[in-house]
Chains A and B, each alone.
Chain A
Amino acid sequence: MKLGMRRAAIAAIAVLGFGGMAAHAQPDVKVGFVYVSPLGEAGWSYQHELGRQALEAALGDQVETRYVDNVSEGADAERVIREFASSGHDLVIATSFGYMNYVERVSQEFPDVQFLHATGYKDGANFANYNARFYEGRYLTGVIAGHMSETETLGYVAAVPIPEVVQGINAFTRGARSVNPDIEVRVIWTNSWYDPGREREAANTLLAQGADVLTHHTDSTAVVQAVEDSDRTAWGVGYHSDMSEFGPETHLTATTHHWGDYYIDVVESVIEGTYAPSNLWGGHAEGMIDIAPLNDAVPADVAAEIEDLQASMRDGEFHPFTGPVVNQAGEVLLEEGAVMSDSDLNQMNYFVEGVASEFPN
């Protein structure tokens, strides 16, 4: 009981943004987390922070964790990562793409330290990467959006055109058009992962142009809030985190990331001495991807349809990019019934049919 309260207190401090270190007696494993953005109450880094807290909660005194947030992906990041490696940490977890090359260099310098890197494509003897199949959640939220949209126009506020973002836009579009083939999706690029002012402007623009379900691939809650604050009848779909508290009335659902179980698995195997670096791209089956509880406005039959889809994704029976996959020009890129390979997914550089905006080059 007492211990639980202490953890709760630590978690509370951590949420305030100043936490990080818990003074346990002689832990078995020390883990350092590097986050790219300042920790808020939702978003990419926040989900990793929840994972870190789950790790502490599950393994108690066996693990000691620290984190640094707001670490830019420039050359300074290498020093921060190295500082963890050189100060007695057994495992360093770097949670943004831009850290990849620094992690590679530092991992070669510290062969006795294990490194994990999120969303990259490189690995090494003591260096593995992990990522989640965000597009699975995107497809589901697209299905819901397709059912809920009256105007048949959906809006998407996106940061920058990398394959992960493009996958999301395409999966969302395919999901929506699987239930209403007349849907079109409009995209506004903000050219920044984290610029709530511009995200809100973009959301308001899409609303003014008739989109009635909005989602985003940026790091703030601005889009969900803009929908909530708008006088129009529209719905918001969150990303990274359950953002319902930012849109109590209009938040339909969200694609949510869950890293805790993975971190716990890795650290447990490190403690047991059975850890061997291996890359992982996990989705519903691995518990890394889910969607937030649905808004009450979502009809029961839609909710049931979503549950079926989720079950079939967990079983590996359904893949959102199952052919035919048709691009904007109407060319069939993947034949009916075929499932897109991971490497094709990772190099996605086109929009599918149904996205109204031009693919940025």
Chain B
Amino acid sequence: MDSGLIQEVVSATLLAGTPLIIAALGLLMNERAGVLNLGAEGMMSLGAVYGFIAALSFSSPVLGLAAGLMAGALVAGGFALLTITLQANQVASGLALAIFGVGLAGFVGKPYESQSLKAVGEWSIPLLVDIPWLGPIFFQQQPMVYLSWVLFGAVWWFLYRSRSGLLLRAVGEDPAAAHAIGRSVVGVRYLAVIFGGALCGLGGACLSIFYAPMWVEGLIAGRGWIALALVVFATWRPFRVLLGAYLFGGVLIAQLFLQGSGVKISVPSQLLSSLPYLATIIVLVLISRDSRRIRQHSPASLGRAFRADE
């Protein structure tokens, strides 16, 4: 493989991983606050469809992203009401949100089925793009790639460098203690869940506005679930989300490059197509086998409801 082709593979990998990073960073935050929202697939679908409709109607990708973000935040708010205030089972509510979101997205998106948007071009970052070999890979990308890096930086800084981040983590680790010192567990969790939904919506919108760029029913195609897997893979640490998403994107892209290379491979194409999912399982196993490390990093109250009067 020549060096130009490697550049292509890496560049395509970054692109493929980006919507996953955005969604997974959001999920990471709400899980850090102790809430497990399995509805990522539904939130991404709604973000994708509303983002697409707004981007198409107003001819503005930025408004599209905003609409996707708000759609995700809105349904996540509903999820928060159900699980935090009404104390409903988080797993069941998340599954309901996944099914509802995918269904509603198909319903709302019906008149827009298979319509497309004008592709948003790549942005070259001045100076940086001139770095030999690496420049064109990292600094001549679609805007959403830079967006994902900014979000990564923001989430990292928030979690590890801000007082609010400390509170968020405390709420996830020991909600009773946080409550005892007068902090609003419910308030923090609401905000975290809504933030998670917003980023899932944004990730979905990135798919329909930048990546595809079109709307079709089933566009998300399991990426919400993969984002959830990424958070576990990352053991709830932002940098590893980045790593995991690029790993996943890399497997996805590599199998296409293998097929397109014209190299005679006698492996069934179905096996190649299932590689990203198999890779996710294998990575999950590798990361989870050390249960101490998982326990050490996973928010202690993850998935459990909290009531002040208990």
Chain A residues within CB distance 8 Å of chain B: 16-18, 38-43, 70, 155, 161, 184, 186-191, 194-198, 200-202, 204-206, 208-209, 211, 220-222, 225, 228-229, 246, 356-358, 360-361
- Cβ of A155: which chain B residues have Cβ within 8 Å of it? 260
CB of A225 within 8 A of CB of B256, answer no
CB of B212 within 8 A of CB of A196, answer yes
**Whole-angstrom distance from the CB of A263 to the nearest CB of chain B?**
23
In chain B, what residue has the closest Cβ to A43? Answer: B114
In chain B, what residue has the closest Cβ to A225? Answer: B116
- In the complex, A347 Cα to B264 Cα: how many Å? 23
For the complex, is B242 an interface residue (Cβ under 8 Å from A)?
no
**Whole-angstrom distance from the CB of A204 to the nearest CB of chain B?**
6
- Cβ of A43: which chain B residues have Cβ within 8 Å of it? 114
- In the complex, A246 Cα to B16 Cα: how many Å? 22
CB of B212 within 8 A of CB of A197, answer yes
Interface residues of B in 249-271 (CB under 8 A from A): 252-253, 256-257, 259-262, 264-266, 268-270
CB of B268 within 8 A of CB of A188, answer no
For the complex, is B129 an interface residue (Cβ under 8 Å from A)?
no
Interface residues of B in 229-282 (CB under 8 A from A): 252-253, 256-257, 259-262, 264-266, 268-270, 273
How many pairs of residues, A versus B, come closer than 8 Å at their CB atoms? Answer: 108
Chain B residues within CB distance 8 Å of chain A: 5, 8-9, 12, 16, 110-111, 113-116, 119, 207, 211-212, 214, 216-219, 221, 252-253, 256-257, 259-262, 264-266, 268-270, 273
CB of B5 within 8 A of CB of A208, answer yes
7 A-B interface contacts by CB (under 8 A):
A40-B113, A201-B253, A205-B259, A208-B257, A229-B119, A357-B262, A361-B266
Q: Known contacts A17-B111, A38-B114, A197-B219; decide if A205 and B119 are in contact (CB<8 Å).
A: no
CB of B256 within 8 A of CB of A188, answer yes
CB of B114 within 8 A of CB of A40, answer yes
- Cβ of A202: which chain B residues have Cβ within 8 Å of it? 256, 259-260
CB of B269 within 8 A of CB of A189, answer yes
Q: Known contacts A17-B110, A40-B115, A360-B269; decide if A204 and B12 are in contact (CB<8 Å).
A: yes
CB of A42 within 8 A of CB of B260, answer no
Q: Known contacts A191-B270, A201-B16, A204-B12; decide if A186 and B115 are in contact (CB<8 Å).
A: no
**Whole-angstrom distance from the CB of B67 to the nearest CB of chain A?**
20
CB of A195 within 8 A of CB of B12, answer no
In chain B, what residue has the closest Cβ to A358? Answer: B264
- Cβ of B110: which chain A residues have Cβ within 8 Å of it? 17-18, 38
**Whole-angstrom distance from the CB of A129 to the nearest CB of chain B?**
27
Instruction: List 16 other contacts, CB 8 Å, given A186-B260, A190-B273.
Output: A38-B114, A40-B113, A155-B260, A189-B269, A191-B273, A197-B207, A197-B219, A201-B12, A202-B256, A205-B260, A209-B260, A211-B260, A225-B119, A358-B264, A358-B266, A360-B269
CB of B262 within 8 A of CB of A184, answer yes
- In the complex, A209 Cα to B262 Cα: how many Å? 10
- Cβ of B265: which chain A residues have Cβ within 8 Å of it? 358
- Cβ of B256: which chain A residues have Cβ within 8 Å of it? 188, 201-202, 205
In the A-B complex, the 6 residue pairs with the smallest Cβ-Cβ separation, listed nearest first, are: A40-B114, A356-B262, A229-B119, A208-B8, A189-B269, A205-B256
When the two chains form the complex, which single residue of A38, A188, A361 contacts B216, counting CB atoms closer than 8 Å? A38
- Cβ of A186: which chain B residues have Cβ within 8 Å of it? 260-262
**Whole-angstrom distance from the CB of B120 to the nearest CB of chain A?**
9
CB of A209 within 8 A of CB of B214, answer no
- In the complex, A45 Cα to B117 Cα: how many Å? 21
- Cβ of A39: which chain B residues have Cβ within 8 Å of it? 113
In chain A, what residue has the closest Cβ to B122? Answer: A231
- In the complex, A169 Cα to B261 Cα: how many Å? 17
When the two chains form the complex, which single residue of A41, A200, A201 contacts B115, counting CB atoms closer than 8 Å? A41
CB of A206 within 8 A of CB of B260, answer yes
Q: Known contacts A38-B113, A40-B113, A41-B114; decide if A196 and B216 are in contact (CB<8 Å).
A: yes
- Cβ of A191: which chain B residues have Cβ within 8 Å of it? 269-270, 273
**Whole-angstrom distance from the CB of A149 to the nearest CB of chain B?**
15
- Cβ of A246: which chain B residues have Cβ within 8 Å of it? 116
Q: Known contacts A225-B116, A357-B262; decide if A205 and B253 are in contact (CB<8 Å).
A: yes
- In the complex, A246 Cα to B115 Cα: how many Å? 10
- Cβ of A190: which chain B residues have Cβ within 8 Å of it? 273
When the two chains form the complex, which single residue of B111, B211, B214 contacts A16, counting CB atoms closer than 8 Å? B111
Q: Known contacts A209-B257, A229-B119; decide if A360 and B113 are in contact (CB<8 Å).
A: no
- Cβ of A17: which chain B residues have Cβ within 8 Å of it? 110-111, 113
